[in-house]
A and B are shown apart, each in its own frame.
Chain A
Amino acid sequence: MDALIVDDLQKHFPLRSLVPWRQPRRVHAVDGVSLRVGTGETLGLVGESGCGKSTLARCVLRLIEPTHGRIFLEDEDLTALTEEALRRRRRDLQMVFQDPTASLNPRLSVAATVEEPLGLHTELTGRARRARVDEVLEEVGLGASLRDRYPHQLSGGQRQRVNIARAIATRPRLVVLDEPTSALDVSLRARVILLLAELKRRLGMTYLFISHDLSTVRYLCDRVAVMYLGVVVEQGPAAELFEHPAHPYTRALLSCIPEPDPDVVPERLVLSGEVPSPIDIPGGCRLRGRCPLAQPVCAEPVPAREIVPGHTVACHLV
Chain B
Amino acid sequence: MSDLLAVSDLTVHFDTDEGVVQAVDGATLRIAPGEVVGLVGESGSGKSVTALAILRLLRPPARVLGGRIELDGRDLLGCSEQEMRAVRGSQISMVFQSPRTSLNPVLSVGRQIERLLVRHAAARPGQARERVVEMLREVGIAEPERRARQYAHQLSGGMCQRVMIAMALATSPRLLIADEPTTGLDVSIAAQILDLLRDLGRRTGAAILMITHDLGVVARLCDRVVVMHAGQTVEWAPVRELFHAPAHPYTRALLRSIPRVAGAREMEPIPGWVPSLLAPPPGCRFARRCALVRSECGVSVPVHAVGEDHRVACVAVEASQWTR
Contact of A190 among B188, B191, B269 (CB under 8 A): B269
With A191-B269, A253-B187 already in contact, the answer to whether A258 and B259 are too (CB < 8 A) is: no
B189 interface residue per 8 A CB criterion = yes
- Using a CB-CB cutoff of 8 Å, which residues 4-31 of chain B contact chain A? none
Which residues of B lie under 8 Å from residue A255 when comparing CB positions?
A: 191
The interface on chain B, measured as residues whose beta carbon lies within 8 A of the other chain's beta carbons, has a size of 40
The stretch of B103-111, B210-218, B315-323 that contacts the partner chain: B210-218
With A190-B269, A274-B156 already in contact, the answer to whether A256 and B187 are too (CB < 8 A) is: yes
Which residues of B lie under 8 Å from residue A271 when comparing CB positions?
A: 188
Task: Assess the B259–A215 pair: CB atoms within 8 A.
Answer: yes
Contact of A257 among B192, B216, B267 (CB under 8 A): B216
With A260-B260, A262-B219, A264-B262 already in contact, the answer to whether A185 and B213 are too (CB < 8 A) is: yes
Contact with A along B252-263 (1 / 0, CB 8 A): 001101111111
Contact with A along B174-192 (1 / 0, CB 8 A): 0000000000001111111
B84 interface residue per 8 A CB criterion = no
With A186-B258, A218-B260 already in contact, the answer to whether A261 and B219 are too (CB < 8 A) is: yes
Q: How far apart are B221's CB and chain A's nearest CB, in angstroms?
A: 8
Q: How far is the CA of A151 from the CA of B275 in the complex (A)?
A: 20
Task: Assess the A260–B218 pair: CB atoms within 8 A.
Answer: yes
A101 interface residue per 8 A CB criterion = no
Q: How far is the CA of A155 from the CA of B220 in the complex (A)?
A: 31
Q: What is the count of residue pairs linking A and B with beta-carbon distances less than 8 angstroms? A: 105
Q: How far is the CA of A219 from the CA of B263 in the complex (A)?
A: 8
Task: Assess the B240–A262 pair: CB atoms within 8 A.
Answer: yes
Q: How far apart are B296's CB and chain A's nearest CB, in angstroms?
A: 25
Task: Assess the A256–B258 pair: CB atoms within 8 A.
Answer: no
A148 interface residue per 8 A CB criterion = no
A254 interface residue per 8 A CB criterion = yes
Which residues of A lie under 8 Å from residue B189 when comparing CB positions?
A: 274
Task: Assess the A218–B264 pair: CB atoms within 8 A.
Answer: yes
A252 interface residue per 8 A CB criterion = yes
Which residues of A lie under 8 Å from residue B268 when comparing CB positions?
A: 190, 194
Closest residue on chain B to residue A260 by CB atoms = B215
A135 interface residue per 8 A CB criterion = no
Contact with B along A111-137 (1 / 0, CB 8 A): 000000000000000000000000000
Task: Assess the A186–B239 pair: CB atoms within 8 A.
Answer: no
Which residues of A lie under 8 Å from residue B220 when comparing CB positions?
A: 258-259, 262
Q: A253-B188, A262-B220 are in contact. List 16 more A-B contacts (CB 8 A).
A: A185-B42, A187-B257, A190-B270, A214-B187, A214-B261, A218-B260, A218-B263, A218-B264, A219-B267, A254-B261, A257-B187, A258-B220, A259-B261, A260-B219, A260-B243, A271-B188
Identify the A interface with B (CB < 8 A).
48-49, 155, 185-188, 190-191, 193-194, 212, 214-216, 218-219, 239, 242, 252-264, 270-271, 273-275
Top 10 A-B pairs, shortest CB-CB distance: A258-B216, A256-B191, A258-B220, A190-B269, A260-B215, A219-B259, A48-B186, A187-B270, A215-B259, A256-B187
